[in-house]
Amino acid sequence: MVAEKRKPGITDTSLRDAHQSLLATRMRLEEMLPALEIMDQVGYHSLEVWGGATFDTCMRYLDEDPWERLRQLRRGLKNTRLQMLLRGQNLVGYRHYPDDVLNEFIKKAVENGIDIIRIFDALNDLRNMEQAIYRTKAEKAHAQGTISYTTSPFHSIDYFVQVGLDLKNLGVDSICIKDMAGLITPYDAYELVGRLKKEVGLPVQLHCHYTSGMASMAYLKAVEAGVDVIDTANAALAMGSSQPATDTMVAALKGTPYDTGLDLDLLTKVSAHFEEIKCGYVIPDSVRGVDTNVLKYQIPGGMISNLASQLADLNAADRTKEVLAEVPRVRADLGYPPLVTPSSQIVGSQAAVNVLTGERYKMVSKEVKNYLRGQYGKPPGEINPELMKQVLKDEEPITGRPADLLKPQLAEARKEIEEYIEQEEDVLSYIIFPNVAVDFFKRRKGLLPPLEVVNICNKKNA
Ligand code: CO
């Protein structure tokens, strides 16, 4: 039956990306648990519930063990595949980790309940994704290879199709187009999805942010081009810098050959739960509406609000416009990396330094130096040769896989925190966020007072 074949699946991101995008990742497990029973009946393709910034935030701000969160979500969601976002060799942190750490992390993620791992690299450098892909397959989970989408003189539909083909060669089960800034136009989405379907031949999933206001149109065109899965969030936590609304997409496709078959009444109940949760937060204006600056500066919405608040902290709020204008120039100097963690932070901070010191690259951050040394991988375009020369002098950048230079870390780390270990997973938490994890372990042992959980974002006074 043709209609059956065309119906797109829905990955709902309410428990990960949606609150990372709108509520600064502050949603607590206790705010999720009451919704699980209904969510588990919906029949989503999957629920994105873990990874990205949630791991850090759990321990740093919420006094929660991220592993325990995953186990409880698994217990409450028996019928639904659980998905996570993994930053390739960066795992859920901000630097590369050695392979022994990566292998153990993926093993534990799967053991605790993850079914699908979406693996990306900020530079689309496959060497930063390959080990994560192999390991995910070895653990018998679904390895989703990711194309980080951006626009630049070096990025084209041909380029992205080639990344898709390369990912297929590494053995991925499906391909995700990750449009973290909401830049993809409906017609580019149509063309890219159509070509990936035809030329790569794997299931294709589209992940967009609503930031520029184009995402639900991009989804509609992608559905017409045969996309297999789209990422959405419940209506209460949708739009703005989050995903298009699940309810809207399901309603839009109802009664067509692309009918998702999901029950709108159930979805309304899911949204009602999160509407109540949302009432406890003040959502900053900067992440709420449509922001077309993203098209002008090609900067993800989250990054604009971060930069603005960092500059305000430095009493330099009046320089925000100049910094935003400097970002695309720094990005060009660095060979047009897609702006996503960690490249967004690297480019954003350097742009701020360039403006505030009054001279471009008078000071160069450690991260930019390491980037120029090739430690983050290979940029899509050419790095400004003058900048290379100024910073590296005669030093040769590395050309191999960055993680090959890292020594195993697991055994030593286990020894370092022996006194705090209550589960094997603690060693991983410690390696990825050493200071944050130790403070968390101390609170867990009663050696430090419990964290007062104030949601920046500004939990309203009850
Ligand atoms: Co996202």
| Domains observed in the chain | 9-278 (3.20.20.70), 285-403 (1.10.472.90)
Question: Ligand 1 center to residue 147 CA distance, Å?
Answer: 12
Q: What is the predicted pLDDT for the residue at 32?
A: 98
Return d(Cα 460, Cα 365) in angstroms, integer: 37
Question: Ligand 1 center to residue 417 CA distance, Å?
Answer: 33
Q: What is the predicted pLDDT for the residue at 307?
A: 82
Question: Ligand 1 center to residue 447 CA distance, Å?
Answer: 36
Question: Ligand 1 center to residue 16 CA distance, Å?
Answer: 9
Q: What is the predicted pLDDT for the residue at 71?
A: 98
Q: What is the predicted pLDDT for the residue at 462?
A: 37
CB 8 within 8 A of CB 230: yes
Question: Ligand 1 center to residue 66 CA distance, Å?
Answer: 19
Q: What is the predicted pLDDT for the residue at 1?
A: 39
Question: Ligand 1 center to residue 210 CA distance, Å?
Answer: 10
Question: Ligand 1 center to residue 104 CA distance, Å?
Answer: 25
Return d(Cα 155, Cα 139) in angstroms, integer: 33
Surrounding residues of ion ligand 1, Cβ less than 5 A: 17
For residue 261, what are its two tokens?
A: 């078959």
Q: What is the predicted pLDDT for the residue at 302?
A: 67
Positions of the chain with pLDDT under 70? 1-5, 301-302, 454-462
Q: Which helix (H) or strand (E) holds 179?
A: strand 174-179
Question: Ligand 1 center to residue 208 CA distance, Å?
Answer: 7
Q: What is the predicted pLDDT for the residue at 452?
A: 83
Q: Which residues contact 140 (CB under 8 A, 6 or more apart)?
A: 110
Question: Ligand 1 center to residue 240 CA distance, Å?
Answer: 12
What residue has token string 């077309």? 292
Q: What is the predicted pLDDT for the residue at 3?
A: 40
- Amino acid letter, 218: A
Provide the CA 369 distance to its chain's centre, in angstroms. Answer: 24
